[in-house]
Amino acid sequence: MLEYNGTIYRPPMEADTFLIPVTEGCTHNSCRFCNMYKDVPFRMLPLAYVEEFLQETGKHYGAYLKNLERVYLVGADPFVLTADKLEAVIEVVRKYCPQVKIITMYAAVRNIAIKSDEDLVRLRKLGVNDLYVGIETGSTKSLTYLNKGNTAEEAMEQCLRLNNAGIRHRDMLMPGAAGRGKLLVEAEATARLENAVKPDMVILTTMSIFPGTELEKAVKEGNFEVAPESEVLTAEKRFIELLDIPETYLWAAHSLDSTRIAGLLRDHKDEMLATLQHSIDTIDDEVFNKTFRRDHL
């Protein structure tokens, strides 16, 4: 029976989606802010393991599998697999989940870039959609400092390629990434990026200083200054004000977000802005720092 190595991470909105282990770890594993896969070397799980997992699940929940229309491929980096390898995985998935319509997963910018336009179109026809892309910020300077492995321009290029292939993407952003005193400029750059690539969903998860990360070390050494929450919220409000993608759903309701908002921008933008303004007007940064924890997921 398949044993998964390490913690299984998935986007909060996939809480009810069937999770299928396909990869472990992260091929990049060098972002300054991330500690999720430090002790888990990257590997693709053998197809035989994936099939065994589905076989064993089917013994107990066969009817459930046969009626699934959405599945999530687990791992930080499943989209690093070639189109041929992903197709082989999808064939096994469809053997046990014949009704599946959407196959979703994390997809790093660098992993989109290694696929041809023809690969992307082929994967879309196989059911790949709603990819979760870690954009983090529209500031190349911040991305470079955080060692994300791509520029903002590259992120835009690859998201537009997904659009051209008909693959929806859900962009994950990290308010606070630039540090104290720089967030408004960063918010404007990030809004320009998101307006250009028109994601299906924008997901905001406020930057946190996790234990054992390079970013934690930089903070302790005085090389990175975390922005006060009032600045984070002010920049987040500015970012949303500038968004001109009415059909996009915005979600900022993670446990790391101090002010939780969510809604379709066309219908709920004003309401979300009002909620953020209330937090900005009432927050006490000193009290906030003493009472709100952001040291773990």
pLDDT at residue number 279: 97
Q: Are strands 43-44 and 23-24 parallel, antiparallel or unpaired?
A: antiparallel
pLDDT tier for residue 139 given thresholds of 50, 70 and 90:
very high
Cα 143 to the center of its chain, rounded Å: 15
- Confidence check: pLDDT of 238 > 90: yes
pLDDT band at 4 (very low <50, low <70, confident <90, very high): low
Q: What is the pLDDT of residues 100-127, one digit of tens each?
A: 999 999 999 999 999 999 999 999 999 9
Report the pLDDT value the prediction gives residue 293, as an integer from 0 to 100: 82
Instruction: List the one residue out of 97, 113, 106 whose CA is nearest residue 65.
Output: 97
pLDDT tens digits, one per residue of 181-224:
999 999 999 999 999 999 999 999 999 999 999 999 999 999 99
Query: Distance between the two ends of the chain, CA-based, in angstroms?
Result: 28
Q: Distance between CA atoms of 124 and 259, rounded to whole angstroms?
A: 35
- CA 257/CA 254 separation, integer angstroms: 5
Cα–Cα distance, 155 to 195 (Å, whole number): 13
| Continuous segment of H or E residues that includes residue 286 | helix 285-291
Q: Largest Cα–Cα distance in the chain?
A: 56
Whole-number pLDDT of residue 34? 93
| pLDDT number for residue 7 | 81
- Which pair of tokens denotes residue 224? 């990175």
Q: Does pLDDT of 3 surpass 90?
A: no
Mean pLDDT of 10-21: 94
Question: The pTM is what?
Answer: 0.96
The answer on pLDDT for 1 being more than 60 is no
Spatial distance between the Cα atoms of 261 and 269, rounded to a whole number of angstroms: 10
Distance CA 207, CA 215 (A): 10
* pLDDT, tens only, 69-79: 999 999 888 99
3-state secondary structure 195-229: HHHCCCEEEECCCCCCCCCHHHHHHHCCCCCCCCH
DSSP tag of 130: S
Q: Read off the pLDDT of residues 43-67 as tens digits, 9 standing for 90 and up.
A: 999 999 999 999 999 999 989 999 9
Q: pLDDT above 90 covers what percent of the chain?
A: 90
pLDDT averaged over the chain?
Answer: 95
